[in-house]
């Protein structure tokens, strides 16, 4: 085969066939090409049988791509080569050897729903408070414990002084007993049991060490503790082991990935060779300069410097917008301009830190009739938690809406199952009533035989309370009441999982959106109609649309033009990350990943104010902007349209984002719409908490809010946003 298509460093990595090798592959450096070429070289030039080669990836897609590319390079049957994910490789080993540890070879692999069922059984048998120990959360906890390689006994022993964790350990112990009784494994077990066998059974360990003469591991920076142990056990002490990865793209610590696995490779395998792939084939040099500059602030890394033979390219542009709404439309306007010049929508991407940020961009794209798709997730209004909360509002607006009521009757779970719901619907239909009528008056229908009668009655009481209040509350306050009375927000909070936190963030974003309508005096029915029209707009094929995704979802992808949005302290890096240097470094690696997705154009943006938890909140530009230094062109916005944006409720000019989450604390307000907005007009005399008395001399609608200019008696002219300014009408 011809290896001259490779650059010098790629060839060096290919020819290093003996001994341990770390290929430190920078973004866009052609690592897959190197690995597949090396596998083909071993078989074609060194006559290594395909069955002597093991290649491990993280996804089935990556495994298939690797196999297809190898097959294209050589004219030889490679069906006997082991190429697969960690889990698929382990299943093959276990089917042959699991009897060694007391299981039957026909074991069942339990999915997440199966795991939840087993955990529920364990909680019930142990008579543990099911409200304190949520099954979904417990499944995640058990997975994390297993990822650390701890047995139930080890975990219980380590947490004797912690009541909650000790009980968690007991659930874990019973869960494991039940799995064994059922001859079942969960996904974590596939790795753990394989490691157990390789540790305890010397002949099995020797068999696989002899079998696999050459081992390849892709995305090595994403390996966790148990995956690391597996590799070490199969490889042995002096292996022909090639691992490929990039410490600067290690962004899955929250999933258990341990960056030390790649950083310490040369210690784990003494004499290991390290080859750095620094030539980038994707991006312009100006984009790479930004990436190099930012990642250089991390201390826990193996140094490398990306470069390209491409042209310098266009300047990387950064702009700070007055408000997040303006950032959304600023980005969309740029997309329109680029498309007008011939760039395709599908070659553009908007990258954000959290899923919730997609909402504003989605709405702006819909209004401009620009096709788009969400990569690695659902569109905002298709997300379960958003549909759930909106279903509550739809029922309060229209009590005849049986579909919406059916959706929420057991969300959060309140012991009203599908059978009870079916009985309720049949009964309502037979009586010519709505589901709402039956649920809210269940005591009147004594002939309706239901096991869940009490739970239905309790739910009906919630609906009646919310319906009574709906007439006296603004849509923003009604939204908060729904979250509190239903227990929806609290249930998510108690789950304490990454998934639940993401759902809470989406609900927070929905709340912020509702508050924009609230400030305009929009009624509930009008708001729901607006959403329906928004969802029903004609859509072009998603394949031709702008790509929207989190920076995590963007890893491994590339686009001609990339917009990195929301680069603000507390948002990116997240407020959680600010608690430790280690977490900030992970966020910085994520920034590096985002930057290196762009081939030709990179636009970076932030906002000085952002709607958070229903309030306009000051924001501070991300530290990453400062770290980019002179590698970016900063477009200053001289207008400073939002001059007096503060968190006046707290009496502070702090840029710290509010931490209080609505829907968890009881706070009933029965007043109609806020006095802000339409009730204050030009010529009105007002009093400001700080600036004193004055007169409104100008007013205009702006981004769902009202901007006023007030001539204060002692402070002169001030430009304020009514949603946040502490002003009141005076005689």
Average pLDDT over residues 454-460: 90
C-alpha angle 340/343/349, rounded to 5°?
A: 115
pLDDT score at 123: 93
CA atoms within 13 A on the CB side of 464: 12
Distance CA 695, CA 688 (A): 10
Q: What is the pLDDT of residues 211-236, one digit of tens each?
A: 999 999 999 999 999 999 999 999 98
pLDDT score at 695: 78
pLDDT score at 669: 46
**Residue bearing the bigger pLDDT, 134 or 723:** 134
Mean pLDDT of the chain: 87
DSSP structure class, residue 279: B
Distance CA 666, CA 163 (A): 29
Residue by residue, DSSP assigns 543-581 as: GGSEEEEEHHHHTT--EEEEEE---BTBBTTBTTGGG-H
In the structure, what pLDDT confidence band is assigned to residue 389 with cuts at 50, 70 and 90? very high
Q: What is the pLDDT of residues 477-500, one digit of tens each?
A: 999 999 999 999 888 888 877 788
Distance CA 49, CA 610 (A): 60
Check whether 248 has a pLDDT greater than 50: yes
Check whether 650 has a pLDDT greater than 50: no
DSSP, collapsed to helix, strand or coil, labels residue 711 as: strand
Q: What is the pTM of this model?
A: 0.76
**Helix axes 225-235 and 202-211, enclosed angle (nearest 10):** 80
Pull the structure tokens for residue 516.
């924009």
pLDDT score at 541: 46
pLDDT score at 67: 92
Distance CA 438, CA 445 (A): 8
In the structure, what pLDDT confidence band is assigned to residue 378 with cuts at 50, 70 and 90? confident
CB contact at 8 A, 175 and 122? yes
Q: Identify which of 334, 367, 368 has the alpha carbon closest to the alpha carbon of residue 350.
A: 334
Q: What is the pLDDT of residues 288-322, one digit of tens each?
A: 999 999 999 999 999 999 999 999 999 999 999 98
pLDDT score at 538: 41
Catalytic residues: 31-32, 218-219, 249, 597
Q: What is the pLDDT of residues 615-646, one digit of tens each?
A: 678 899 999 999 999 999 998 765 443 333 22
Q: Where are the beta strands (DSSP E) in 619-725?
A: 632-635, 685-688, 692-702, 705-712, 716-721
**Residue bearing the bigger pLDDT, 704 or 660:** 704
CB contact at 8 A, 656 and 570? yes
């Amino acid at each position: 085969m011809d290896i001259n298509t490779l650059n010098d460093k790629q060839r060096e990595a290919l020819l290093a066939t003996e001994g341990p090798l770390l290929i430190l592959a920078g973004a866009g450096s052609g690592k897959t090409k190197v690995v597949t070429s090396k596998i083909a070289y071993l078989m074609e030039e060194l006559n290594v049988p395909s069955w002597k080669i093991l290649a491990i990836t993280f996804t089935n897609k990556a495994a298939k791509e690797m196999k297809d590319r190898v097959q294209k390079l050589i004219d030889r049957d490679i069906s006997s080569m082991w190429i697969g994910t960690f889990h698929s490789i382990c299943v093959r080993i276990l089917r042959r050897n699991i009897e060694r540890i007391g299981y039957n070879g026909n074991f069942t692999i339990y999915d997440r729903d199966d795991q939840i069922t087993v955990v529920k059984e364990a909680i019930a048998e142990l008579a543990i408070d099911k409200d304190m120990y949520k099954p979904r959360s417990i499944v995640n906890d058990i997975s994390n414990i297993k990822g650390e390689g701890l047995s139930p006994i080890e975990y219980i022993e380590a947490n004797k002084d912690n009541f909650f964790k000790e009980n968690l350990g007991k659930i874990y112990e019973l869960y494991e007993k039940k799995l064994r009784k059922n001859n079942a494994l969960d996904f974590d077990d596939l790795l753990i049991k394989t490691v157990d066998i390789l540790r305890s059974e010397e002949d099995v360990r020797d068999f696989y060490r002899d079998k696999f003469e050459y081992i390849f591991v892709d995305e090595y920076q994403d390996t966790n503790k148990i995956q690391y142990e597996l590799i070490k056990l199969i490889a042995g002490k002096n292996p022909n082991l090639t691992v490929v990865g990039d410490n600067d793209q290690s962004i899955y610590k929250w999933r258990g990935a341990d960056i030390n696995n790649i950083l310490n490779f040369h210690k784990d395998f003494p004499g290991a060779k390290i080859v750095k792939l620094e030539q980038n084939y994707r991006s312009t040099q100006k984009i790479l300069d930004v990436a190099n500059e930012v990642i250089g602030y991390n201390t826990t890394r193996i140094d490398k410097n990306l470069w390209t033979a491409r042209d310098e390219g266009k300047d990387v542009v950064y702009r700070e917008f007055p408000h997040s709404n303006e950032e959304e439309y600023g980005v969309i306007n740029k997309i329109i301009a680029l498309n007008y010049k011939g760039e395709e929508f599908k070659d553009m991407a908007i990258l954000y830190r959290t899923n919730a940020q997609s909402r504003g961009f989605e709405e702006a794209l819909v209004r401009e009739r620009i096709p788009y798709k969400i990569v690695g997730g659902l569109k905002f209004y298709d997300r379960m938690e958003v549909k759930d909360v909106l279903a509550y509002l739809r029922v309060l607006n229209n009590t005849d809406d049986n579909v919406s009521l059916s959706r929420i009757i057991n969300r959060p779970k309140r012991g009203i199952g599908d059978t009870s719901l079916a009985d309720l619907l049949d009964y309502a239909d037979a009586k010519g009533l709505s589901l709402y009528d039956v649920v809210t008056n269940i005591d009147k229908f004594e002939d309706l035989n239901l096991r869940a009668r009490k739970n239905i009655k309790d739910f009906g009481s919630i609906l009646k309370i919310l319906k009574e209040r709906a007439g006296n509350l603004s849509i923003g306050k009604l939204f908060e009441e729904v979250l509190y009375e239903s227990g929806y927000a609290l249930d998510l909070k108690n789950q304490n999982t990454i998934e639940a936190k993401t759902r809470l963030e989406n609900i927070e974003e929905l709340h912020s959106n509702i508050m924009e309508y609230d400030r305009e005096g929009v009624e509930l029915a009008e708001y729901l109609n607006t959403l329906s029209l928004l969802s029903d707009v004609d859509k072009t094929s998603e394949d031709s649309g702008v790509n929207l995704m989190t920076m995590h979802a963007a890893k491994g992808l590339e686009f001609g033009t990339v917009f990195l949005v929301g680069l603000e302290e507390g948002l990116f890096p997240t407020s959680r990350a600010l608690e430790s240097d280690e977490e900030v470094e992970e966020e910085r690696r994520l920034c590096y990943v985002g930057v290196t997705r762009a081939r030709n154009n990179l636009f970076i943006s932030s906002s000085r104010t952002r709607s958070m938890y229903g309030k306009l909140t000051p924001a501070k530009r991300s530290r990453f902007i400062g770290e980019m230094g002179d590698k970016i062109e900063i477009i200053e916005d001289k207008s400073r349209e939002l001059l007096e944006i503060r968190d006046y409720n707290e009496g502070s000019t702090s840029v710290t984002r509010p931490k209080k989450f609505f829907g968890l604390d009881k706070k009933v307000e029965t007043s109609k719409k806020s006095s802000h907005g339409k009730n204050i007009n030009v010529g009105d005399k007002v009093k400001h908490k700080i600036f004193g008395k004055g007169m409104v001399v100008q007013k205009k609608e702006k981004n769902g809010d009202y901007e006023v200019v007030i001539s204060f008696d002692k402070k002169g002219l001030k430009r304020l946003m009514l949603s946040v300014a502490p002003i009141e009408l005076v005689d």
